Amino acid sequence: MKKDLHPSSYRFVVFKDMSNDYSFLTKSCVDTKETIKWEDGNEYPLYKLEISHTSHPFYTGKMKLVDTAGRIDKFKNRYAKK
């Protein structure tokens, strides 16, 4: 195995699902710029997620529409005139 292949900067990080405000604490080496105060009173780096297992249609069984296609269509229509 190659030396120094894996990062050595693992630390506790809070991952927050922005669609339903679900958060969980785990070890990661992801780079973050924000921090958040966790339930234990300590401050941890915060990484924001667009979707997690609590909001994904496969795990929840509910279909949730995201308006990304609508925004793309609006952009194309706005700049198609020029």
Range of the domain at 53: 11-80
Does residue 5 belong to any structural domain of this protein?
A: no
Contacts of 23-29 spanning 24+ positions with Cβ under 8 A: 24/52
Q: Which ranges of 1-82 would DSSP assign to H, the alpha helix?
A: 57-60, 68-80
Question: Does residue 26 sit within a domain?
Answer: yes
Q: Which is nearest to 27 in space by CA: 8, 3, 54, 5?
A: 8
74 within a domain of the structure (yes/no): yes
**Tens digit of pLDDT at every position of the chain (82 positions):** 788 888 888 899 999 988 788 899 999 999 999 999 999 999 999 999 877 777 766 556 666 555 555 667 777 777 876 6
Q: Tell me if 72 is assigned to some domain.
A: yes
Domain assignment of residue 39, yes or no: yes
Structural domain count of the chain: 1
Contact 27, 13 (CB under 8 A): yes
pLDDT computed for residue 18 by the predictor? 82
Q: Is residue 53 part of a domain?
A: yes
Asked whether residue 6 is domain-assigned, the answer is: no
Is 2 a domain residue? Answer: no
- Give the per-residue pLDDT at 66: 55
Helix, coil or strand: residue 78? helix
